[in-house]
Chains A and B, each alone.
Chain A
Amino acid sequence: MSMIKALSAIAAMFLIAACSNSNDQQTASAATTSVAPGTVGDFRQNVGDRVFFDTDASTVREDGRQTLNRQAEWLKKYPNYQITVEGHCDERGTREYNLALGERRANAARQYLIAQGIPAARLKTVSYGKERPDPVGSDEASWARNRRAVTALE
């Protein structure tokens, strides 16, 4: 962790230079005002740390593939991060089945990242089933956001 903090500090020193360097997409440059490249915050805001799944499904969708492609590029650029892909489900399933479904989703995202060239040794998986909702809500929109695989960095 201390190494990451140090990296963040160094990156922060180049923040202004990075921002003025406008090769990035419009959306990305608009969001980079407060996070340094190469930080977890950068990954979350500018790359996207999660992909979403259809009900009871673990196939990575087209929108998810785009996110995972960006993740793979970023992770190759910053090879010091270890990665845990967390699988999650909405609350409309039973607890034990959802643990297994979350594992299947985490595994699907992990396999995709491996196929994009991320070494398997960098990638762990963990399933939280329906135990860690984000966002909290009992409606279709919340459930859609909860059927997710989150790429967590450390």
Chain B
Amino acid sequence: MSNELIDFVIVSIALLGIGIYGLSVKRNAIRMLFAVEIIINAANLNLVAFARFIPHSGGQTLALFSIAIAAAEVAVGLSLIIVAYRMYQNIDIADFRSLKG
């Protein structure tokens, strides 16, 4: 195969950087969830790339677990955002000041 391991790792680093930029700059709760998704996908890309170049099935198994756990995390995160939106009528995280129910 013509692509080398380093190419995939560099794409994954670029995605990680974009995700950290989104997490640190945006205050919109849904956009922060987008950034978290991008970071998780960068990690999965790394797992599968290393699993391909050290031919072993463990990396792909771990990537499958990671995708499934990320799905659960998104479901809970979105419902938390909906609850907070109902409480504050806003999705700006600077407005989410009190934990009182």
* A and B are interacting partners: no
A residues at B contact (CB < 8 Å): none
